[in-house]
Structure 1
Amino acid sequence: MLNAAPPVAPLFGIAVSRAETAEDVVREMSEALIGRDICFLLVFVPDRLELAEMAPALNRHFSGIPVFGCTTAGQIAPDTGYDADALVAIAFPKRHFRCASMLIDPLNPLPIKEISTNARRLAAQFQRTADWNRLALIFADGLSRQEDLLVAALATALDDLPLFGGSAGHALRFDETHVLHGGQFHRDAALLLLLETDLEYAGLGFDHFLPTDKHMVVTEAIPEERVVLELNGAPAAQEYARLVGCDVDRLSPEVFAENPVLVRNSSMYHVRAIQKVHQGGALAFFSAIDDGLLLTLGEGQEVLRTLEEGLGLKDAAGRPPEMILGFDCFLRLLEIETKAMRLDASEILKRHRVVGFNTYGEQHCGVHVNQTFVGVAFFQPRRRDLH
């Protein structure tokens, strides 16, 4: 069944399909977007669809149109909010957008110098349009363990051009994730998009945690694996469980989602989410970790209130966004579902015109973070007749 959503974002073409096969999904997408002059497509792919069938179907139905995207840990659709079943496609109009892209492949090992050089070259060759705004989007393999270094390298190479993004997922399987570029799905890779637009935009990034007075020092780690063996000189899982007030054998993704650890960067705290308990009582993380790092246990605030407040952006004329492109951590969704708040959260997402996906990690302000909502709110142009 297809759901097109013109009331949500009239400047953008948005199609949502829940058809059973990849061919039917893409056909419905194509039919929903007929007549639109498309600069490029962003496609967020649910885990139920076969990528070997998706890629050729997209190439057939959208020949000549750049199609980018990734696999996800869930989608954010305009008609349902959080959605595990739908394929979501966003058509960015030629009238308001220009785009340049680069595939970064492989990520392991990470060729930082080459990536920096190629990103600078791409930005230099991307011709500027007078009075248009620029930003960058990044979509990375969410299991690569390279997003921290990747985002830092790109932020430096792009001269602090605003960079927003999310790590690709694959439901809650944690087996393999893919990004879409050049008509193919790629593992161990990242996709960089440089955008230029006459639309006004605003970046956003927020979580719902405050630091507590409970601290942990990483006393032994395997940084390249994002694994912590010891906290405060004790087995990591044991010490974390003690501070949370939970038995070690009861640690779970739900516990991790409600009790993340925070890292302070200047005056800001960023979430370093725990993925799972490893053999021997070690903890695997979704972000960079190292010996000597000071961690602070986070305390959750009202997730629905912070979501409502965080999405409540207006432009200088007091108008809401035409669309918020959203990258929302799957751990936030997991906490929301555990608290039976999915429907309420979805209503907030729909009301604020959020379209996007659930990630394995988020990129914001040159930093790879977790359990954070990152997005780009697009508004109408200030001085241009849309009609």
Structure 2
Amino acid sequence: MQELEQGPKFIGMGRSQALDPYVAVNEACAEIDCALSCFVLAFIPNELDPAEVTRALNYKLAGVPVFGCTTAGQITVKGYESDALLLLAFPKANFRCSSILFENIRPLNSTEVAAKAQRQVEKFRHTAGWNRLALMFSDGLSKQEDLLVSTLETVLDGLPIFGGSAGDGLQYEETFVLHNGEIHCNASVLLQIETNLQFQGIGFDHFLPIGSEIIITDADPEERMVYEINGAPAALEYARLVGCAAEDLSPQVFAENPMLLRQNLNYYVRAIREVTDGQALSFLAAIDDGLIMTLGRGKEIIETLEAGLDIHDSAGKSPDFILGFDCVLRKLEIEQKQLSRQVSDVLQTRRVIGFNTYGEQQSGVHMNQTFVGVAFFEPVVRDLS
């Protein structure tokens, strides 16, 4: 495994900014030890052809299972990046893994998903004293993550699930997931993981509800489209609420002025993807007629990031590393405010590695503009005397 000064001890990391897929894979693989790896997560930048990257990984990592997805950005040892192939090697000494590929998830067959997940649970034998969690990577344009994660949360009762939706650099064209050396769209990968490391889940955003209630008065839930807000054309009403002209609506405006939905005393972001030609709003998470929402206004993003990542184990130790799923709209806002270097410094200091998503999953909920992650700590040394 790659040794970094004061870096993680329980994961191997490889990265490359090469523009040729085979060169990038060779450079990234040179920094990890295949013989010691249980499985590898690959996070692919928009600049590289995912099919070519997958072929190269199959050649270089023959025999090592590879999972992951295309991304809207990466979080590496350098912090935020946009053009880096990132490989994370999970060592056999500390991890075991079982995987499922859910294909043709649009439309989702919940009964089939539940049965398949239950069979996996029954086959994946539990190692005494080890801890279990699940990771989920889904096609970020499938519009099925809401139903998928709620279904899995129900059938995998008690197993914490953390996930990120695949991205493509805000192109909104195609996103892919990787499963055992093959790429798939309209699909999702579920990894059931055992580890002798301790872990804690993380989830936070930086928004507070402001203003009066907003009612969704005409929507298409299946397509995540909103046609009317407060009885008026959606884009025009949203622009009025945020104080700009409809023609000035942009990803930057959406990132700084999200819609919030209250659920079980918590507010979850329902981010807007784009304006359609007919003045409708396309969303990145579940939406429906009659929902009562409110606008969100951001708090200080660096302070909330530092506070959210400031976690420790029972002995007061910091994480060995944090696997992070960070919404691309957070990154967009950070870049707009010229805070990329400061945020990258925080991510480096906290040993965060991962990718920028089209949506995040935690506690059975699909959300946007949120940081979701898993902090891994050193194993507990048990007294056998």
| TM-score normalised per structure 2 | 0.97
- Letter of the structure 2 residue corresponding to residue 76 of structure 1: I
Residue identity in the other structure for 2:357: T
Pairs within 5 Å for 1:190-201 = 190-201=188-199
Aligned partners of 1:171 and 1:384: how far apart in 2?
A: 45
Deviation digits for residues 258-311 of structure 1 (CA, Å, limit 9, x no counterpart): 000100011100000001111221111000110001111111100000001001
1:223 aligns with 2:221: yes
Q: Name the amino acid aligned to 2:9.
A: P
Flag the 1:145–1:130 CA change in 2: closer, same or farther, 3 A.
same
Alpha-carbon distance in structure 1 between the residues aligned to 2:51 and 2:324: 26
Match of 2:126 in 1: 128
Q: Which amino acid aligns with 2:249?
A: L
After TM superposition, the structure 1 = structure 2 runs for residues 258-269 of structure 1, keeping only pairs within 5 Å, are: 258-269=256-267
**How far apart, CA to CA, are the structure 2 residues paired with 1:245 and 1:273?**
17
Q: Deviations over 1:331-376 (max 9, x none)?
A: 0000000000000000000000000000000001100000000000
- Over the residues paired in the alignment, what is the CA RMSD in angstroms? 1.3
Say whether the 8 Å CA contact 2:34–2:61 is kept in structure 1. no
- The one-letter code of the counterpart of 1:361 is G
* Match of residue 246, structure 1, among 241, 244, 247: 244
- 1:222 is displaced (CA, Å) by 1.0
Which residue pairs with 2:71 in the alignment? Answer: 72
Shift of 1:6: 5.9
Contact 1:5 1:15 in 2 (8 A): no
Deviations 1:216-264 (A, max 9, x none): 1111011111000001111111111111111111111101100001000
SS of 1:32's equivalent in the other structure is: coil
Q: Distance in 2 between matches of 1:245 and 1:4?
A: 50
User: Structure 2: how far apart are the matches of 1:6 and 1:70?
Assistant: 28
Residue number in structure 2 paired with 1:156: 154
Alpha-carbon deviation of 1:35?
6.4
Kindly tell me: are residues 100 and 35 of structure 1, through their superposed partners in 2, closer, same or farther at Cα, counting changes over 3 Å?
closer
Q: Aligned pair 1:375/2:384, yes or no?
A: no
8 Å CA contact 1:4–1:16 kept in 2: the answer is no
Partners of 2:29 and 2:87 within 8 A in 1 = no
User: Which residue matches 2:52?
Assistant: 53
**Alignment deviations for residues 55-106 of structure 1 (CA, whole Å, 9 cap, x no partner):** 111111111110111000000011x200011111111011111100000001
Match of 1:43 in 2: 42
AA in 1 matched with 2:65? P
Count of matched residue positions in the alignment of Structure 1 and Structure 2: 382
Alpha carbons 1:4, 1:32 under 8 Å: kept: no
Identity %: 54
Distance 1:55 1:159 in 2: 33
How far, CA to CA, are the matches of 2:317 and 2:102 in structure 1? 37
Structure 1 unaligned spans of 5+? none
* Structure 1 residue 52 displacement after superposition: 2.5
In structure 1, what is the Cα distance between the partners aligned to 2:188 and 2:8?
27
Report what 1:82 is aligned to: 80
Provide the C-alpha distance between the structure 2 equivalents of 1:212 and 1:311, rounded to a whole number of angstroms: 25
1:169 to 1:5, Cα distance in 2 relative to 1, 3 A: farther
Please give the residue correspondences for 1:1-387 in structure 2 after superposition, counting only pairs within 5 Å. 5=4, 7-34=6-33, 36-78=35-77, 80-383=78-381
* 1:265 aligned partner, one-letter code: Q
Gaps of 5+ in 2: none
Q: CA deviation at 1:160?
A: 3.4
Q: Which amino acid aligns with 2:52?
A: E
Q: Distance in 1 between matches of 2:3 and 2:222?
A: 43
- Measured against aligned partners, the alpha-carbon deviations of 1:107-132 in whole angstroms (never above 9, x if no partner) come to 11211100000001101111001111
* Secondary structure at the counterpart of residue 99 of structure 1: strand
Which letter maps to 2:279? G
Q: Which letter maps to 2:292? A: L
The alpha-carbon deviation at position 182 of structure 1 amounts to 2.1
How far 1:198 moved relative to its partner? 0.8
**Equivalents in 2 of 1:277, 1:31: separation in Å?**
44
Letter in 2 for 1:258: E
Alpha-carbon distance in structure 2 between the residues aligned to 1:206 and 1:260: 15
